[in-house]
Amino acid sequence: MKKIFSSQNLFMIGLILFCHSCSDDFSDSQIVEVDLGQKNIETASDETSLNGPKGLVTYQITGDFSGKMDITFLSSDDFIPPQPSIGFKTPWETSYDVPLNNNIFIGGYANGLYGDAVVGEKALLKMSFNDHLIETVIRKADENGMITLPLETYGLEQFNPEVRVSETNIGKEVVYAIDGDFSGKIMVVYQVADGSRENIEVTDLPWNYSFTTTEHSLKASIYGIGSEGQEGEEIEFNISVDGSIFISELVNTDNNNQIGLFPELIVPFD
């Protein structure tokens, strides 16, 4: 049940720890997406010659964040993604083809570091593969009007949208909970009902998130990495299923006043 992370994963986790964003914890009811309307859609040019089967990666940014943004796409073995998109405003969308090769990784990060947004404005970065949502990153502009939205790193071999869970595992109530006296901010990544992940920043404890499993809920999982805490502080992560705690772990701050649950806690559903 332990997950082995590649160097790309560690790189993205580093981005999470050192981002310049500031947000509160979110629940489903707090996530309000902006209608794309006359959206600014960019079709990224693919500079790599693609032979054979291809997949489509799509990035979409919505929300009320009013500043300019840049986005950089993850490169990997045997593939060079499009050049970064610079200075756009939300709503925004782009997509590009990738070869269906297990050596290909997708991900990246968006930054709004121009300082031209209003404190507390929110942005949502969504990444999809072949029309299947993979991850939603949610952040708020910090006290300087800046924001960073870091995606995880995903290998194409991870995706099989045809897999379904058994009927006995549909309709289960899953609750993620974090509690403790940690005074910093925690970047939390967790699986949701449709099989995708949400990536948020939690600044106030206790925090929890719940969902009801569907045929796409192959697992419940959560991990988090915190910074700016104090010596001796701790947090407890747990996952409950149908009202009973299934798995739990207590973690403490390290010598750098950071804290983390890593690798993630996982409850698999078959």
pLDDT at 160 over 90: no
d(C-alpha 248, C-alpha 158), whole Å: 25
User: What residues does each domain of the chain span?
Assistant: 7-158, 167-268
- Would you state the pLDDT for residue 15? 44
Number of CB atoms found within 10 A of residue 237's CB: 24
Domain at 167-268: CATH code: 2.60.40.2880
For residues 69 and 109, the answer to whether their CB atoms sit within 8 Å is: no
d(C-alpha 74, C-alpha 185), whole Å: 26
- Would you state the pLDDT for residue 4? 33
d(C-alpha 213, C-alpha 31), whole Å: 19
pLDDT at 234 over 90: yes
- Would you state the pLDDT for residue 52? 67
pLDDT at 93 over 70: yes
Question: Hey, what are 248's tokens?
Answer: 């739990």
- Would you state the pLDDT for residue 76? 83
Number of H helices, E strands in the chain: 1, 19
Mean per-residue pLDDT, 244-266: 93
For residues 247 and 239, the answer to whether their CB atoms sit within 8 Å is: yes
Three-state DSSP state, 28: helix
Question: Hey, what are 26's tokens?
Answer: 């979110």
- Would you state the pLDDT for residue 21? 37
- Would you state the pLDDT for residue 42? 52
Which residue in 147, 223, 228, 229 sits closest to 180, CA to CA? 229
Q: 125 versus 263: which is more confidently predicted?
A: 125
Number of CB atoms found within 10 A of residue 158's CB: 11
Number of CB atoms found within 10 A of residue 262's CB: 13
What's the pLDDT tens digit per position in 176-230? 999 999 999 999 999 999 999 999 999 999 999 999 999 999 999 999 999 999 9
What's the pLDDT tens digit per position in 34-79? 333 444 545 444 444 446 678 899 999 999 999 999 999 998 877 8
Tell me the average pLDDT of the chain: 84
pLDDT at 33 over 80: no
Which residue in 96, 92, 93, 94 sits closest to 80, CA to CA? 96
For residues 121 and 141, the answer to whether their CB atoms sit within 8 Å is: yes
What's the pLDDT tens digit per position in 119-159? 999 999 999 999 999 999 999 999 999 999 999 999 887 77
pLDDT at 10 over 70: no
Mean per-residue pLDDT, 232-249: 96
